[in-house]
Structure 1
């Protein structure tokens, strides 16, 4: 997956970089499935040079178009066509309260979803901006249909499945090889906890690490086994839980923390396939670096999540991670599997 800075995007457009033009097949699908209602408002996220935004405006929507590239927005504003309100806004990092309107009949993301790092959190914030009956439309390249070199800017079937989960209606349409997704009726399901398969028999002891960023978001990884999980893992011989948590955090994400500043909140005991499992709930609030996938055979990507979103994750949460999260935010996650919890003295 490609994650570029605003400066890198500005350089991309300054050098004449462009994306695939809006095709007739896309126009037909949009007209058929998301026609503009009377007084309809649309938000185009990652609008780039504004081609889709202008098309929506010409179709009857009043359109707000946002992008993090000042260069793209400047060029979009110079282009003729229906009037569009352009705004520089980073949908991942900026407050969506800056948008000109509180809610929209249509939100579009064309050829940009693969560039979003914290997709689950961003998706939740976009859901909140839909009017009743509104639709989120994501147009994307599909990994299986593009050359290998372009797969980082396409979505595979697993990612498309994650995007479509938690909606009352999720339509998928082909638009000359692009997948055009029309998602309606946000409907987050109950939290589901899941294992990742039977472990190799041994003494299962380890640490789960709740690491939070400066605004309180918690880091979770999307596992190759189809669950969300915290950083963490087994103790090495002679290693305490705090040191194990710090080491695993560095090995799995490249984030660095000082063991002296780490809190062991509790020790949790449950079992998996008849094998006792002991997990230390380790909390890290001070670290350096940015999350990086260092073990792609285990984790697809790391995302910062709002704690309040965790009860409505559209995919399972690894059971020990759920227990550790419930130690830091007691009562946040309902209906967890049973566990013996032993708070650490002085916590």
Structure 2
């Protein structure tokens, strides 16, 4: 919802603006479901001109009524109703420790919840302000009962579901065409995680593997596509970069290594044909075996190269491989294409 400025609320009330009066159905439901206990203390949020606050006071509550419009509060105070204390407070942006009391038997917000932007955060703070056995009562229009041009004052079913989440009891009542929610028993749920449906393919991700022999020479393959490249390739679903590097190394060269000994040194990002490309620069220092061409449809041969010879290979370097090599030996390869590089600290 759009954040309504305080000056706009002040102008609304100063110009004689009003909201829907408290109805008989609301009064009946309040008396039935949230009667005042002995010494009951209520907090009325967004009290406006104080109609609900005065009703609660008349029902036996001592009431703290807050709003952030001074114009509304000035008119509300003029009634001189006993049992109601008015205070200016923005429940979304001010510290709730400024409230007159630390906790309440009843917290109400009538016709105002749709105007709160950070509802989830505010709701969590209100839970903390309820006394044991207390209730939060939200009275609001609902989206399917208002015209489209009034949607900003109402809650839809998705928003209502979020309002009721995390409570042991979340009861809904019809109050003269408004929805009244009585929420009791704060019961925070464990974190849950979910996707947003099947995503559209967006990027290429993989690993380039640097392995060196005892003399410090680095292994490169001459590709059927006419470039020198490091061992490596795309990672499978649920496979981390180190595991992908070790798997690709074995599949392409027959060299075997322990994923626990593979180290991601940097994450590199560039693009190819308008597609983002993410490459992990992986260093493998311990392996067994000798390089063998196991996938001749991809690589003609594997060779060990002196690092100082990398600029003079007689054929082009595959760009992601060049970026990975530059991570390991900065400055050896001049004139590299642009890349975004994110070094990874060795844990």
Q: Distance in 2 between matches of 1:26 and 1:80?
A: 23
Instruction: Say whether residues 1:56 and 2:51 are aligned partners.
Output: no
Q: Deviations over 1:261-314 (max 9, x none)?
A: xxxxx969xxxxxxxx9799xxxxxxxxxxxxxxxxxxxxxxxxxxxxxxxxxx
SS in structure 2 of the partner of residue 3 of structure 1: coil
SS in structure 1 of the partner of residue 42 of structure 2: strand
Question: Counterpart in 1 of 2:107?
Answer: 107
Do the aligned partners of residues 104 and 343 (structure 1) sit closer, same or farther apart at CA in structure 2, a change above 3 Å counting? farther
Q: Deviations over 1:124-183 (max 9, x none)?
A: 000000000000000000010011221111111110110000000000000011000000
Question: Counterpart in 2 of 1:94?
Answer: 94
Question: Counterpart in 2 of 1:169?
Answer: 169
Do the aligned partners of residues 279 and 60 (structure 1) sit closer, same or farther apart at CA in structure 2, a change above 3 Å counting? farther
Question: Counterpart in 2 of 1:26?
Answer: 26
Give 5+ residue unaligned stretches, structure 2.
Answer: 206-265, 269-276, 281-341
Do the aligned partners of residues 76 and 15 (structure 1) sit closer, same or farther apart at CA in structure 2, a change above 3 Å counting? same
Mapping for residues 117-196 of structure 1, pairs under 5 Å? 117-196=117-196
**Across the two proteins, how many residue pairs are aligned to each other?**
218
Do the aligned partners of residues 57 and 157 (structure 1) sit closer, same or farther apart at CA in structure 2, a change above 3 Å counting? same
CA contact (8 A) 2:133 2:184 kept: yes
Mapping for residues 1-347 of structure 1, pairs under 5 Å? 1-203=1-203, 344-345=344-345
TM-score (norm 1): 0.59
Structure 1 residue 346, shift from structure 2 partner: 10
Q: Distance in 2 between matches of 1:11 and 1:201?
A: 50
Give 5+ residue unaligned stretches, structure 1.
Answer: 206-265, 269-276, 281-341
SS in structure 2 of the partner of residue 26 of structure 1: helix
Which structure has the larger Rg? 2
Do the aligned partners of residues 187 and 144 (structure 1) sit closer, same or farther apart at CA in structure 2, a change above 3 Å counting? same
Q: Distance in 2 between matches of 1:346 and 1:11?
A: 59
CA contact (8 A) 1:2 1:153 kept: no
Q: Distance in 1 between matches of 2:163 and 2:103?
A: 20
Q: Distance in 2 between matches of 1:204 and 1:156?
A: 39
SS in structure 2 of the partner of residue 71 of structure 1: helix
